[in-house]
Amino acid sequence: MRNNKYTALYCRLSKEDEKTYISSSIETQKKYLNSYAIEHHMHNIKYYIDDGYSGTNFDRPAFTELTKDIENQLIDIIITKDLSRLGRNYLTTGYYIEHYFPSNNVRFIAINDQVDTIHQQNDLMPFKNIMNEWYARDISKKIRTAYKTKALNGEFTGAFPPYGYDKDLKNKNKLIINFKQAQIVKEIFNLYIRGYTVYKIGRYLKENKTPTPRADTYTKYHKYYSENLSKYPFSWGSRTILTILSNEEYLGNLVCNKHSTKSYKDKRLKLNPNEEWIITQSTHDSIVSLETFEKVRKIMNSRIKRKVIINNHLFIGKIRCEHCDKTLTYSIDKRRDNRGMYVCSTYRVFGKERCTSHYIRYDIICDYVYNSIKYLINQAKQNDIDLYNRIYQMKNDELQHIKENQTDIVKDNKRLKDIDIIFHKLYEDYALNRLLFDDYFKLIQDFKEEKVEIQKRLTDFENIIEIERKIKKQVQDFIHILKKIEIKTALSKNNVDLLIEKIVVGEKNSKNQERIVQIHYKYIGIM
């Protein structure tokens, strides 16, 4: 084991666990794991803590950091209180314990379940993992049932109240009117009845510096922060306004079960069918009258909805704006001969305040990409060795700044051996009273720090070797794909998907006023 490798103490506590097991709190886990590590002479401790994250999936910040450290060869041992702290999905938990950790030379210990991968495999471990998953599924069912019961009883169960309302301080399951927000809700309904479009309503609210619902939520609860939120707190989106205009809760009715998670393992929300919604009449004070709400509904139904035309084009989801990194949306302008075009989606929704159009014609970008790919295919088939060397050199140049900082590897390894000899000599001098303890301790610390620095340089060098190996493999794979592809007069969707990661559209070139376009190829990046 290298001295600079960590003993990882992994702690996890979900909201459901917190309600059930007080003894499993994060602080309790930390103390328990730390005591175990010290008792077993495990040093260089580092905590990885996921507080409030479910064990049914592994998409957790601290666990993600842990796996990155494992792949960077920084972890020697992982310790958890029990198997359930690592996870409650028995297949994935088993994969990590039986395959991922051993393949990365990481020892795993689950104290209470007496699992230690350095010893013979615990035959009961798979069954314990299954039991942990059954527990998670059972808890999920109970929570869903509890929420549904509350909804049927007309109790509000959301984390935050709908715009226009607050939670009653005396009863968090009851809504009361927020009079300032309620006035804005009424104004939105009245403007729509007067003939304003949702776009014009949004512009009106922005001109009057009315904070968006998301901005109000952040101000009050400090949740859902984003950079755009702080930059554009008054930018109302059309979807937000449409949601308000169609929200039956402004009539005083509670609408629950509109969304649900896909399963106890997958926490992503899905919209439930209308017939599954639980609507309870007259649970709180209304903001708009039934007459006003019905007027708005009739206007919405009477306005001609544009037929959505799904346009099949080569670069679906691949073209992005250089400025805001959002996708460019494809549309057809019937007034032009070359009708297909791309425009930044941020610009289309919010205008020049957030981005510029980044307009580019479809035929122009098709020609540009076709010529670029055609050139690479010809190069691969005519002289694949020359193309390989050019791409490899381009990719390898990115590592030059790291390589330049590398010292002589032979010299570093020799110095490590010298430091080990020095350690022995210093201890001997101290043991024979030829060196005072304070002097001994200071010298030892200095040499330890030097040793850590040298080991880091050696690790960086090993990482560079691995990166270079990956680069060679990526370039080989890319050229292999190029040599298999046949294109004659036009690109196919399959060609684009095989070769291109994304296409970034920038501003116009100051010389010829043409759009700057960068193609990011799979495996190799920008050519």
Q: Would residue 436 be called left, alpha or beta, if left means φ above 0 and alpha means ψ between -120 and 50 degrees?
A: beta
pLDDT of residue 132: 58
Residue position matching structure tokens 């099949």? 312
pLDDT of residue 403: 57
Residues 282, 287, 292, 297: what is their CA dihedral angle, to the nearest 10 degrees?
-70
Both structure tokens of 72: 């960077």
pLDDT of residue 103: 83
Both structure tokens of 413: 């390894």
Of 249, 240, 255, 245, whose CA–CA distance to 286 is shortest? 249
Helices (H) and strands (E) in the chain, counts: 20, 18
Residues 94, 98, 99, 102: what is their CA dihedral angle, to the nearest 10 degrees?
140
Within 8 A by CB and 6+ apart from 296, the residues are 189, 192, 193, 245, 246
Answer whether 201's CB lies under 8 Å from 241's CB: yes
Quote the CA–CA distance of 280 and 290 in Å, as a whole number. Answer: 15
Predicted TM-score (pTM) of the model is 0.50
Q: What is the mean pLDDT of each run of 10 residues along the chain (527 residues)?
A: 77 68 72 89 91 84 92 92 84 80 89 81 57 59 63 74 89 89 95 92 91 86 73 86 91 76 56 76 90 92 64 85 90 73 87 87 91 91 87 72 62 87 86 84 87 82 78 87 84 87 88 86 85
CB atoms within 10 A of CB 332: 13
Both structure tokens of 31: 């103390």
Both structure tokens of 354: 């957030």
Answer whether 343's CB lies under 8 Å from 362's CB: no
Strand pairing report for 75-80 and 278-280: unpaired
- Provide the 3-class DSSP secondary structure of residue 469: helix
Quote the CA–CA distance of 483 and 384 in Å, as a whole number. Answer: 9
Q: Which residues pair with 344 in a beta bridge?
A: 328
pLDDT of residue 226: 72
Question: What angle (nearest 5°) sits at the alpha carbon of residue 286, between those of residues 285 and 290?
Answer: 145
3-state secondary structure 255-321: EECCEEECCCCCCCEEECCHHHCEEECCCCCCCCCHHHHHHHHHHHHHCCCCCCCCCCCCCCCCEEE
Answer whether 247's CB lies under 8 Å from 296's CB: no
Task: Cite the beta strand spans of 316-438 per DSSP E.
Answer: 319-321, 328-332, 340-344, 360-361
CB atoms within 10 A of CB 500: 20
pLDDT of residue 1: 39
Quote the CA–CA distance of 412 and 416 in Å, as a whole number. Answer: 6
pLDDT of residue 22: 41
Both structure tokens of 434: 């030829």
Q: Which residues pair with 6 in a beta bridge?
A: 75
Q: H helices within 54-124, ranges in order?
A: 61-71, 83-86, 90-95, 101-103
Q: What is the CA radius of gyration of the chain?
A: 31
